[in-house]
Amino acid sequence: MITVGTLVPYLAVALGAGAVAVLASRRRDLIQRWCAWAVGIPLVTGAFWLGAPGAAAVGAAAACIAALEFGATLRAPWLDRAALVLALLALIGTAGLSPGHVLRAAGAGVLLVAAVPVLTGDAAGGLRRAANGVLGLIWLAPLAATVRLGAVTLLLFAAVSIGDIAAYVAGRRFGGPSLSPLSPAKRWSGTLAGGLAAVGTLAVFGVFTRDLPTSLIIGLVVAVTVGAPLGDLFESMIKRGAGVKDTASWIPGSGGLLDRIDSLLLALAIVLLMSW
């Protein structure tokens, strides 16, 4: 069984090792990113220690920030952003209080975000606004999985983050073919190295030696090796379409929250689907 208590020593060691690595790299962006982790990880870990209420609070806070960043990136009207935030909060609240009604909450959320442009009578851009709202809800809905997955969310975030750094370093070091036109700077060499580092992180955290369901173990491996890079590319597609580099600029070295959790979102969805 994976609990917050069993993960804390590993997270502490990972932060310490990360500090050594980023200082050795002398890269300002990586040092800034580590500083953001040093502040954020203890806060999030403390919240998860409180159990389902703490996990729901983390998911809700992340959903609000991410929804606002998503709306700003696509230049959506404030009413559309508010509807998306409300739909996500209702979904996360339902996941915590009445899990059997999650699908109903998701359906109601889709109706809400799609109805706003209709009710405002937007004949010119209503279809685009409705489509963007539904897309945002589907993309950010995996944050509701924090309630069900609990400490597994922390484990997944650690593995994805370490894999992301490994991919960044290896891609710059070894070069090679580009991964996708959506993100020309990313290389296959980096993606492979990142996947290995992420799986190695799962191994260090004891995923393969604990008495965990096989479906969960497979889900975690698929999530960090396939879901994480695809999630990153998905956000790159959205940003390129919107003509922006980052979704925000308030996190040093990372841009916005969406820039930090883009890989985690799809990874969470894969773990949830494969371990349901």
Q: How confident is the model at residue 34 (pLDDT cuts 50, 70, 90)?
A: confident
Q: How confident is the model at residue 40 (pLDDT cuts 50, 70, 90)?
A: confident
Under 8 Å CB-to-CB from 194, ≥6 apart: which residues?
163, 164, 165, 166, 167, 168, 170, 228, 229
Domain boundaries, the chain: 1-51+150-276, 52-149
Beta bridge partners of 251: 255
Of the CA atoms within 13 Å of residue 106, those in its CB half-sphere come to: 17
State pLDDT tens for residues 89-134.
Answer: 999 999 999 999 999 999 999 999 999 999 999 999 999 999 999 9
Q: How confident is the model at residue 26 (pLDDT cuts 50, 70, 90)?
A: confident
pLDDT at residue number 95: 95
Q: Does this model's pTM top 0.85?
A: yes
The identity of residue 100, as a single letter, is G
